[in-house]
Amino acid sequence: MMTEAFYPIGTPGQPWGDAETSEWLSRQTRQRSYAVDVLSVIDRLRSRFEVVEYGRLDYAPDAYPLLAIRSRNWRDDLPCMLVTGGVHGYETSGVHGALQFVDQHAADYEGRANLLVAPCVSPWAYERVHRWNPQAIDPNRSFRADSPAPESAALMRLVAPQRDGMLMHIDLHETTDTDESEFRPALAARDGKPSEPGEIPDGFYTVGDTENPQPAFQQAVIAAVAKVTHIAPADGNGEIIGSPVVAPGVINYPLKQLGLCAGITNARYTTTTEVYPDSPRATPEQCNAAQVAAVCAAIDFALAHPA
């Protein structure tokens, strides 16, 4: 049954205008530091990897350099692998898992693959533990031509030279309890639509591409993560977050159609990871480790099955 969930901004049934968006923005507060948590870690990696600034977000009074990490010895004859995290800034293990992968494992692929890692696509949202950018736009529905989200547009420009040559792209996300308590009601309020209660899955899962599902690739990621943390079961309808489970821990979305980050290249292998950090069965360390395991498994599978 469709029900109208309470949200403290706006009028039910009416999309937000500038006044409502401004009210929402006024309620957002910085809760952590991109400079301390992300930029300082990247600085420590500069001696081993190339660091590129691929854009800058000017959200007065704040400004954020957008940094990516590349293999230092990039070779045109090697397959290219893309890792993205923090498209939704509140999804913490996506950011720290990407950085942990670079620190602990990226060197293992020297001479075998070109790596491009954008660990924190949405730093303003990272600091405010939010899903949207300051315009109340979801970057992960904005990876399309003439994107309204500067975060998304900048990443697409970075990736454009390798768009057709990328072999694998893994985009690191989380599904959290606040998806249900805050972000879905906020989305419904913003768009003037009714909010339907949902169920948050307890465990890790992946989202493949409906148009290019690559089931063996998805299962390789699931198998690796299952050694670190538990995999989300299907609900009573055989679904995870409203989508049919096509294999244990796997659902599919039309990535490009929805403007999702994992659809920004023409890579043969694409997946979106979803960690559940609010589970009583998982620690923050396990969540980061699950992301790292997923990245390694994704690269390893792609290298073993390049065509």
Q: What is the helix (H) or strand (E) element at residue 62, kind and residue range?
A: strand 62-70
The pair phi, psi for residue 122, each rounded to 5°, is -125, 75
The pLDDT of residue 89: 97
The pLDDT of residue 3: 43
Q: What is the helix (H) or strand (E) element at residue 220, kind and residue range?
A: helix 215-225
The pLDDT of residue 307: 79
Tens place of pLDDT for every residue, the chain, 307 residues?
A: 334 457 999 999 999 999 999 999 999 999 999 999 999 999 999 999 999 999 999 999 999 999 999 999 999 999 999 999 999 999 999 999 999 999 999 999 999 999 999 999 999 999 999 999 999 999 999 999 999 999 999 999 999 999 999 999 999 999 999 999 999 999 999 999 998 888 999 999 999 999 999 999 999 999 999 999 999 999 999 999 999 999 999 999 999 999 999 999 999 999 999 999 999 999 999 999 999 999 999 999 999 999 7
- β-partners of residue 251 are 207
The pLDDT of residue 265: 98
Question: Residue 170's Cα: distance from chain center in Å?
Answer: 9
